[in-house]
Amino acid sequence: EIVLTQSPGTLSLSPGERATLSCRASQSVSSDLAWYQHKPGQAPRLLVYGASSRATGIPDRFSGSGSGTDFTLTISRLEAEDFAVYYCQQYGSSPNTFGQGTKLEI
């Protein structure tokens, strides 16, 4: 099973700042990686797939990069609605796995 390790566990920033979230895989997943945003009481929201492709309707302040074992989600200018938990997920092999999440807080 591929283990995804996200860092940091919690990121404290202010609106307007830049956020950089990391996801490291225990073995190569090529570009088979997605990022999700999850807010309490809501369904998760797909942000990025294929490591760097933005999902439909996602603002361009969200960008993904990386391949192999090291991936990054960058939010260029934080807005109030961006404060949530973010998960990476690999889908290149079974079982698919999620990282443990990064909480982005004000």
> Nearest distance from residue 100's CB to other proteins, in Å?
5
Residues whose CB is less than 8 angstroms from the CB of residue 82 and which lie 6 or more positions away in sequence, other chains included: 19, 37, 75, 104
Tokens 């390790």 sit at which residue?
5
Burial class (CB in 10 A: 0-12, 13-18, 19+), 44: middle
Residues 42-81 that bind other proteins (CB under 8 A): 42-46, 48-50, 53, 55-56
Asked if 93 is part of the footprint of other proteins (rule: CB under 8 A), the reply reads: yes
Name which of 5 and 18 has its Cβ closer to other proteins: 5
Under a CB-based contact definition with an 8 Å cutoff, are residues 67 and 3 in contact?
Answer: no
8 A C-beta contact, residue 32 and residue 97: no
The single residue among 19, 25, 32, 75 that binds other proteins, judged by CB under 8 A, is: 32
- Residue placing its CB nearer to other proteins in the complex, 9 or 16: 9
Binding site for other proteins (CB under 8 A): 1, 32, 34, 36, 38, 42-46, 48-50, 53, 55-56, 85, 87, 89, 91-101
